[in-house]
Amino acid sequence: MPSSYNEPKESTDAARLIYPTTEESAAALYNAQNITSALEALHQDGFVVLKSVVNVSHIHKINEYMRVEADDLLQRNAKPFNQGVNSNILQGPPVADSQYLFNDVFFNPFVIQIMNASSYLGANPIWNFMTGNNAIPRTYGLRQPVHKDITFFHPQCPFYVIANIPLCPFNRTTGSTEFWLGSHASTSGQDQQVTTTESTLANANLRVGEPMTFLRDDVREERRQIRPPLQPACEEGDIMLRDLRTWHAGMPNESDSYRIMLALGYQAQWYPNHTLRSKLPLSQGNFFMSHGGQPIEVRADLLPEGNDFGVLNDVFEFRPSVP
C-alpha cells in the first residue's frame, strides 16, 4: 500500500517501503506524499526501499550475464574478497554492451527525484560511482564485520547516498545485507577502529591514524541495545537507498545461486570530492552522458574498448579531494 501522511513518523524496527501508485508508475514520478515518506525514512533510518521501480525483465537480463561472468571471475581468482571475508566480491554491471543498458537501472527517475530533494542531497546530484556486490553461494556462517564504506572523518550530515539494486530476491537465505537503521544519524569517525601500520583491507585506501571501515566493538554493542540490525526482504524491481554513513554488513548466502546487487553512488554538489569518476566505455558515451534526461550530473572517464571496466570501477575513494 502507498505510504500515508497518517502513518507514524517515528523510527521503527522495520525498513520503510515506498510503493508507487498506478499514476506515479505511469508518470515515473512520486507525488509529494511519497517523497515526504522517502525523505523521512532517509533522515531517520538512513535507509529506504523503493518498491517496484525497475522493469523486472531488465533485472533478469543483467543478472543472467553477471552470473556467467561470476563463474569466470572466481575461477580466475580475478577479484579480492570484500571486507576481508571470503564470502563476497565486488562485481559491477556490464557497461560495454548496449543490450544491458537501461535507463530505469542506471538513471532511475524515482531515485534521482529523491536525490534532488533539497532536504537530502540537493539539486543536480553527481553520479560518479558504480560497482556491485556478489554474495557467493553456500557461504554458511561467513559474514562481514559491521562497517561503513568510509575510511576518513566524514561529515555528519547527508553527503553521499548509495542505490543498491538487487538482481534476485533478497532475504535471509540469499544473504540480504544487514543494515543498522538510524546508525547514520549520530555516527562519526570516532566510532570506527583506527588504522595502524599493520592494517590492510582490500578495496580500501587506509591512512594510519584515520578510521578503518570496521566499527569499534563497544560502539556496535551499545547501538545493538538501542536498535538492533535487520535484514530487509526485497524483490527484483526494488531499489534500496542507503546513506553512506549507515552501518551495514554482508551476510552469508545459504542458497545455491549468486546473490548480486548493483551499487550506484550519488554525491551532493557541495561535497568537495572532485576526483571520483565512473570508468565507462567511450562507445556507450551517448547513453551515459545523456543521463536518461534526468536532472543529474554524470562524472565519468570515457575510455577505449578493451579496458576491464569491472576492475577499474573497483577503485574508488569517497574522501574529500580538498581539505
Tell me what percent of the residues of the chain surpass a pLDDT of 70: 96
Mean pLDDT, residues 104-132 taken together = 96
Q: Would you state the torsion angle of the CA atoms of residues 44, 5, 20, 16, taken in this order, to the nearest 10 degrees?
A: 30
pLDDT given at position 164? 98
pLDDT given at position 204? 79
Reported as type and span, the H/E element at residue 238 is: none
CATH number of 17-312: 2.60.120.620
pLDDT given at position 7? 41
Residue with more model confidence, 80 or 26: 26
Query: How far is the C-alpha of 130 from the C-alpha of 248, rounded, in Å?
Result: 18
Tens-place pLDDT, residues 141-166: 999 999 999 999 999 999 999 999 99
One-character DSSP codes across 32-49: HHHHHHHHHHHHHHSEEE
Tens-place pLDDT, residues 18-36: 999 999 999 999 999 999 9
Query: How far is the C-alpha of 273 from the C-alpha of 8, rounded, in Å?
Result: 37
Task: Please check the confidence at residue 8 and state whether its pLDDT lies above 70.
Answer: no
